[in-house]
Chains A and B, each alone.
Chain A
């Protein structure tokens, strides 16, 4: 068993920036799965009544929780954008090196912009003070 070649055999490849986008897809996917657990916990708090919901929302307002929520937001948004890139690849398009690098850059830019937008909207919906949200 241990003598067999194992699936992601990373040592034999020359590093390219598109590789880090690929591994980031897995990392953000796992982070988003953890975010799903938080989402289920939040729904259970809402279903448990006003006191439980207020306590949950209070926990989500702590500095650590805010950082975590921003991390989950980026993870989800990046995985969403890069997932579209993967679905396009599945149709056989966009696999040439130059094209894959361009779409990779587009995904990074889109993910950062969308993260900023969602975090801003999220702060406003949570009632945190944000610039431009009166």
Chain B
């Protein structure tokens, strides 16, 4: 006999109340990052990195910009979820844990928005 209520069974959210959402999104972003990062590294390292004009021209191309924005969002999300697990596992004080989790979220969001803004500026302006 199970002690779980029928409602808990249907919702399937487990004891933390969040279900498998975190675990699943970590996998979905991981799968997406395999082709995105492979493409980006190969494409980037084919460019003359010291030339501002060449880099601007490369990143300003529509498909390069779109794929790089996708890469930035996916990478930021995946990194945020991963760092969150590390903080939750190793930082035990409630105050320190909450502070670091907030800080990590803000930094990842800030970096992602800065990166996307930079790409849009290069691609559109």
A residues apposed to B, CB below 8 Å: 1-2, 6-8, 26, 29-30, 32-33, 36-37, 39-41, 43-44, 46-47, 49-50, 53-54, 57, 76, 80, 83-84, 86-87, 90, 118, 121-122, 124-127
Q: Is the CB of A125 within 8 A of B92?
A: no
- A4 shortest CB reach to chain B, Å: 10
A-B contact pairs, 15 of them (CB 8 A): A6-B89, A6-B92, A30-B83, A30-B86, A36-B108, A37-B107, A39-B115, A40-B114, A41-B114, A43-B118, A44-B117, A46-B118, A53-B55, A83-B33, A127-B50
In the bound complex, how far is the Cα of B81 from the Cα of A83, in angstroms? 14
Q: Is the CB of B92 within 8 A of A54?
A: no
Total A-B pairs in contact (CB under 8 Å)?
Answer: 95
Q: Does B44 contact A (CB under 8 A)?
A: yes
- Collect the chain B residues with CB atoms within 8 Å of residue A36's CB: 75-76, 79, 108, 111
User: Which single member of B52, B107, B112 contacts A53 (CB below 8 Å)?
Assistant: B52
Q: Does B67 contact A (CB under 8 A)?
A: no
- Collect the chain A residues with CB atoms within 8 Å of residue B88's CB: 7
In the bound complex, how far is the Cα of B125 from the Cα of A125, in angstroms? 26
Q: Is the CB of B119 within 8 A of A84?
A: no
Q: Is the CB of B52 within 8 A of A50?
A: yes
Q: Mark contacts of B35-57 with chain A using CB atoms, 8 A cut-off: 1 yes-contact digit, 0 otherwise.
A: 00100010011111110110110
User: Which single member of B47, B94, B122 contacts A125 (CB below 8 Å)?
Assistant: B47
In the bound complex, how far is the Cα of B118 from the Cα of A41, in angstroms? 9
Main secondary structure of the interface of B (DSSP, over half): helix
- B37 shortest CB reach to chain A, Å: 7
Q: Is the CB of A47 within 8 A of B107?
A: no
Q: Is the CB of A87 within 8 A of B92?
A: no
User: Which single member of A8, A26, A49, A125 contacts B44 (CB below 8 Å)?
Assistant: A125
- Collect the chain B residues with CB atoms within 8 Å of residue A84's CB: 34
- Collect the chain A residues with CB atoms within 8 Å of residue B49's CB: 57, 125-127
Contacts A36-B79, A86-B30, A124-B45 supplied; 13 other A-B pairs, CB < 8 Å: A7-B89, A30-B83, A32-B79, A33-B82, A33-B83, A40-B72, A57-B49, A57-B50, A76-B37, A83-B34, A125-B48, A126-B49, A127-B48
Q: Which residue of chain B lies nearest to A7 when distances are taken between CB atoms in the complex? A: B89
Q: Is the CB of A1 within 8 A of B79?
A: no
